[in-house]
Structure 1
């Protein structure tokens, strides 16, 4: 059977099941008595086990099988749920996600080792038996030994399994064995022996016994020491760690080779991996596809109609057909956009677990509230927005929300609140990340900015309290003296801003010291087709996105004033900065005009008047990338092809501020 054709479906369905498991585990932690949650987690584990086994992913199948065993014991109330068990289940979830990631990128499960998790689960399952049953002489505590061997490997120590044979003519075997034990203890630590040390003391063994030794010496030194003891006829030393690793490597190679030969015969492993790389997919409501199909049918009808009109040469009929075609293409565009739209909960779903883990690590109590998860955005926007949101949430948890003791001093509830909210706003989607923590210390931000030579003392003193938080977006700026693993890491919020700007969005900060901090991200609904205003600068046509335009007006050039060498005008009782687009784009300007056309563009609360030579009109444009060689050109967000075949560059209005 050709398994590879089902890999895409397997990955997509597995991710859905794992998300369901993650949600249930988060609820289970706060509702340990809820048997329905346990049943749901069990069903997900059982489904994943069957899917993984069918696809030939043995490690996934083995881990989910072990999870099933643990969950069954919890369901039957033989074991009670506690924090330790929930943590182990979360560890299992993380490893299953890593398996899926490897399958998506490499086509196989990779080298991820989960034996330690299986041992942890076994340790819980058989805890009572181990506590109540006396140990037999052959009992081997695998969990204990594996932990020691893993630690030995980390510490750079050797672990040897040594088989010692005593001479047949030896009169006092126990005494001779005692000398061997004494000699080995000078070189390292004996972890176990077969038979047990008690049986060896009582001479309840033949001429041979085994010892597991952890040491920093090599096997040659140990061998020379043991063979120097009289009446020791033979010594066999095997490296336990190297042997175990070799077996695992061999096992994985065999599995990989078997899969390769089953899936694509006659091709090397490298080709297999590249052939099995997974593409991006979007699940679409069937009603949206039906609508799309109907519109395509309408296109075929109008095409036939226009062919008939061409034969009759009727201008009136052609005009009607063109209007009809325009309506269909507009509806088709809307339908295609809806097909590309996905709920923003795809991004939001990863945050409850992240908040739970980080708050636990930092000793904080934090409640995450999410509003507007059903808000839809373009798939490309979804892919880009995840990392900036992770950075902002980590920042709020680490720097914003205080510890329970600090919150009590500030007369706040011990549990902090982190609000994640999304809602549509015209052609944009707004995402807010708000915490009820310390807020931003305005004076400290100024002080840091001056110390880091970002601004001068004079400029800092002239800034109002609303402008100061914007300094946090400056490259390399951080208010933290110590770099942590949670947030910061020497990278500031400038990374967030540049990422948001790259998809045509903006990010703003609103804060009140000791009360709250709110980050507001405003991003376009789609990155593919937009409404734009076409303008002219000398002979060149440029496009300005309509979503960033507030209004269009004319001004008298003699009303323009200069403040700090920058042009401004008093417009509607507000100071409006003037941007001469021809100077920004290095285009020769025409003679000075008495009356200037300005397009007032906005970026959040900020506004600026952009001077243009001529207005052409509004048009729907398809955004095309400038390519990797031209991608970093300032003030340009892309290009579009006009109806006459000429190219028009799209202005990045955010860069004008």
Structure 2
């Protein structure tokens, strides 16, 4: 068939594409300076010949397709051609190019090719037509592989595009291999693997990474043989291809320090692939589950073109249409470094917004103070006006002048007939006008502050939106590395002789790309651990009534502002008794203490360095590395890990991780004169303990929270600082660590805040510190961000011998634990006065201070509860009618809190009705007085509640 049945318009499309392809080949084979082009410059052009071959086959020009195939094979194997014979070979290629040009011109004139001429050319140059076995290039030794071959000089921008693309192809090859492991004769998967290898090979040659192209060419040859039915996919072939993609990953790292390793592994896998390709067809057991398309011989022109070639040509057409799709989708590539710079700028914007909000808060406070002063001025003006503005001036006794005559002329008017003014009257009026002007200005100022607050809220929403969008641009699906886990399961199952399936879900859950990179190794450890330690052997599973094949579940999801990853197996669960026995054998726990351990305490022992319950030592397990590595890696990215297990049913590890590492939410605390940030992801809860709630047991400060006893440490002493004394119990921040919950006593809680984490640098003091970075607070001060696990673990390690570094909390033998007890200050003192009236707070506060009492004031019920939570008072006095929370709600809240459950509460209100009194007393008030109150009566009431000893000396 010579294209006679093709519409003229379609033949025109083919001719245009062919002309463009031939021009590209001509530029490569005929350099402008007339020299002989080196192999490295012409090898990437094989892709042009490949496209020409596919297009010619699609349009029925079999002769042209045959010549293009010869060109493709010759160019692809150019690098392996003997250098001495290369110039003569280039002349053959140039002659082949002219033969192609003649045929294209003939199709343009006559609409048909000359197949006989094409076959004649091929016969004359048969010695230059590469065979399938030789097309991959000869085998070489490690010594023959030059550094430039393995680590070529590539354009940085080109490589930045090629590397992620190659990584995607590598993962696609692995995914296809894993499917073939279950369905070795699936023609669609075989075709997909072949096409992926072919595309990766072409991309590598195009950018000049010949080593990758040559290696993947071997893979393509094997899969081509599988497609044609000459070979079948075996476990050995799959292993060899898996090893090939491992070598490709090493090559993509472009690390000169790995050259020796890469050189050895490259040669080993290349020779292995070549041996497989050279295996005679009759020596390979061929079992084909479904017909595989085979290329139709060229000698039969009446048959349709090969299906594969048609697909390749269709792919070429899709490539032509791609620019339109790109224009519509507006897709561009942006480097991660640029996104990080943008995110850093957004972080600076967040800090700037925080500063502006702080300034606005100060302005609001000043506005409130001015409003108080204005009210006092208004009161004074009103009093002055009542005294002078409406008082008639005395009649003047003056005589004579015009002014006097004018005034005396008004004497005949009565007081009700005409208003008369003197200087006091005028001053009173002017002061009243000034007061009104101040009031109007204050009203405008309040309105401006309110609008500024609204604008600040809008700015906050824009900033957060910008931050989220930029952070989202850095995010990738967490399922990207899941293919590696499938491979890990396959290898471990084979190594242990178990039958294991991996089920994944939530692959599209997105997290920061940096997190994905740093999660791969810990997750591989967990998956391998599940296969090796969790899943039982087939015989054991069947005996227990379980399915013969074990299952490992890998699930990812978003939960709030965190990403949750669960690694679960349906194996035998964690053998707690075996863990205890191993811990005793290692000398990290005493036998009597091990016997008294709970299951949750015992399970935490698996995070000890070097701890393993494996009976044998192998490549994948029993080496003492794994769970401690996982713990450190997860904590290094501000995450934490939890364990759930059930004997005979399986184990689940849950990893909680932040979505991004650059911008986070933290709790700011004050310790001494310094401020620190604790990532919110590390905090379980915050407790404000009542007096006596923290008890000393065996030299430790223990806080009972629910049914759990929390070991409380001084934040200051853990950092090596001096513990400052305080006026009341210190707030306790309960944080999660790998060995359980720990309470950190701090001096003050400053509130929750979004922070931008900046790296501290690579100096050794920073690397070995317990800080993961630093941030800037709204007031412009540098605040260190704490890694609580490192802080608690590091201090414990310093205090104990090397053999007892990890399980100290379980052993109860810390030699310096008494030094870590926090100072909880003196008992409750002072009086808290809660009232929404400034006048009452000032007036009553002075009465109490005059009686020798220390007084704190709160502006409303909500403020009162906050202050009552921050310290312990001897007495709380509260109004009933207040905004936000009324007095009854305040009493109820105070009585439900352990800290204020027994604190005397005195109600002071204008409501004198018995109904109000009884309700207050029934809810827990210990006294009830009505306003206005006399000083003596108030002091007497206070003394009855707390005694005269509550007064300051």
**TM-score category by the smaller chain?**
0.5 to 0.7
TM normalised by structure 2 equals 0.47
Counterpart position of 2:583: 449
Counterpart position of 1:648: 783
Which of the residues 594, 599, 620 maps onto 2:733?
A: 599
Q: How does 1:400-549 map to 2 (within 5 A)?
A: 400-549=534-683
Cα 1:510–1:76 change in 2 (3 A) is same
Counterpart position of 1:568: 702
* Cα distance per residue 1:518-542 (max 9 Å; x no partner): 2222222211111222221221111
Counterpart position of 1:220: none
Q: Distance in 1 between matches of 2:334 and 2:607?
A: 32
Cα 1:36–1:589 change in 2 (3 A) is same
* Cα distance per residue 1:318-353 (max 9 Å; x no partner): 665544433322222112211121111123221111
Cα 1:315–1:42 change in 2 (3 A) is same
Which of the residues 364, 387, 409 maps onto 2:521?
A: 387
Q: Distance in 1 between matches of 2:649 and 2:542?
A: 13
Which one has a larger percent helix, Structure 1 or Structure 2?
2
Counterpart position of 1:123: 278
* Cα distance per residue 1:39-61 (max 9 Å; x no partner): 11121122122222223333433
Cα 1:611–1:83 change in 2 (3 A) is closer
Counterpart position of 2:319: none
Contact 1:441 1:513 in 2 (8 A): yes
Counterpart position of 1:68: 220
Q: Distance in 2 between matches of 1:605 and 1:340?
A: 33
Q: Distance in 1 between matches of 2:701 and 2:259?
A: 59
Q: Distance in 2 between matches of 1:484 and 1:11?
A: 33
Q: Distance in 1 between matches of 2:632 and 2:334?
A: 24
Cα 1:542–1:127 change in 2 (3 A) is same
Contact 2:731 2:745 in 1 (8 A): yes
SS in 2 for 1:357: helix
Contact 1:66 1:121 in 2 (8 A): no
Contact 1:103 1:110 in 2 (8 A): no
Contact 2:218 2:274 in 1 (8 A): no
Cα 1:537–1:407 change in 2 (3 A) is same
Contact 2:488 2:527 in 1 (8 A): no
- TM-aligned CA deviation for residue 76 of structure 1: 3.0
Counterpart position of 1:340: 474
* Cα distance per residue 1:446-471 (max 9 Å; x no partner): 11111211011222122111211111
Which of the residues 5, 13, 21 maps onto 2:165?
A: 13
* Cα distance per residue 1:368-388 (max 9 Å; x no partner): 111211111112211221111
Is the counterpart of residue 50 in structure 1 residue 224 in structure 2?
Answer: no
Is the counterpart of residue 625 in structure 1 residue 772 in structure 2?
Answer: no
Q: Give the gaps of 5 or more residues in structure 2.
A: 1-40, 42-152, 286-332, 354-444, 794-953
Q: Distance in 1 between matches of 2:633 and 2:746?
A: 29
Cα 1:120–1:427 change in 2 (3 A) is same
- TM-aligned CA deviation for residue 605 of structure 1: 11
* Cα distance per residue 1:260-314 (max 9 Å; x no partner): xxxxxxxxxxxxxxxxxxx995599xxx99x99xx99x99xx9xxxxxxxxxx99
- TM-aligned CA deviation for residue 103 of structure 1: 7.7
Q: Distance in 2 between matches of 1:35 and 1:637?
A: 51
Which of the residues 484, 491, 508 maps onto 1:350?
A: 484
SS in 2 for 1:482: coil
* Cα distance per residue 1:15-54 (max 9 Å; x no partner): 1112111111211222233211121112112212222222
Q: Distance in 2 between matches of 1:484 and 1:405?
A: 22
Counterpart position of 1:638: 773
Counterpart position of 1:138: none
Contact 1:558 1:594 in 2 (8 A): no
Counterpart position of 2:495: 361
Cα 1:614–1:485 change in 2 (3 A) is same
Which one has a larger percent strand, Structure 1 or Structure 2?
1
- Comparing both chains, which one has the higher relative contact order based on Cα–Cα distances under 8 Å and sequence gaps of 6 or more? 1
Q: Distance in 2 between matches of 1:37 and 1:636?
A: 49
Cα 1:95–1:579 change in 2 (3 A) is closer
Contact 1:67 1:121 in 2 (8 A): no
RMSD: 3.7
Q: Distance in 1 between matches of 2:679 and 2:244?
A: 47
Q: How does 1:134-283 map to 2 (within 5 A)?
A: none
SS in 2 for 1:555: coil
* Cα distance per residue 1:115-163 (max 9 Å; x no partner): 4134323323x434999xxxxxxxxxxxxxxxxxxxxxxxxxxxxxxxx
Cα 1:462–1:15 change in 2 (3 A) is same
Number of aligned residue pairs: 490
Cα 1:334–1:65 change in 2 (3 A) is closer
- TM-aligned CA deviation for residue 362 of structure 1: 2.2
Q: Distance in 1 between matches of 2:209 and 2:749?
A: 61
Counterpart position of 2:512: 378
Cα 1:592–1:458 change in 2 (3 A) is farther
Counterpart position of 2:186: 34
SS in 1 for 2:677: strand
Q: Distance in 2 between matches of 1:325 and 1:529?
A: 17
Cα 1:319–1:431 change in 2 (3 A) is closer
Contact 2:678 2:787 in 1 (8 A): yes
Contact 1:391 1:487 in 2 (8 A): no
Cα 1:422–1:315 change in 2 (3 A) is same
Counterpart position of 2:29: none
Contact 1:407 1:414 in 2 (8 A): yes
Contact 2:541 2:548 in 1 (8 A): yes
Q: Distance in 2 between matches of 1:20 and 1:414?
A: 29
Counterpart position of 2:533: 399
* Cα distance per residue 1:230-266 (max 9 Å; x no partner): xxxxxxxxxxxxxxxxxxxxxxxxxxxxxxxxxxxxx
Is the counterpart of residue 24 in structure 1 residue 176 in structure 2?
Answer: yes
SS in 1 for 2:785: strand
Q: Distance in 1 between matches of 2:551 and 2:502?
A: 6
Q: Distance in 1 between matches of 2:159 and 2:258?
A: 12
Cα 1:532–1:348 change in 2 (3 A) is same
SS in 1 for 2:688: strand
SS in 1 for 2:600: coil
Contact 1:359 1:366 in 2 (8 A): yes
* Cα distance per residue 1:559-589 (max 9 Å; x no partner): 3212222112334454343332223223333
Which of the residues 675, 682, 692 maps onto 1:558?
A: 692
Q: Find the structure with the greater CA-based Rg.
A: 2
Contact 2:639 2:681 in 1 (8 A): no
Q: Distance in 2 between matches of 1:52 and 1:590?
A: 64
Q: Distance in 2 between matches of 1:515 and 1:572?
A: 29
Cα 1:127–1:631 change in 2 (3 A) is same
Q: Give the gaps of 5 or more residues in structure 1.
A: 132-278, 303-312
- TM-aligned CA deviation for residue 591 of structure 1: 3.0
Contact 1:554 1:596 in 2 (8 A): yes
Q: Distance in 1 between matches of 2:463 and 2:756?
A: 13
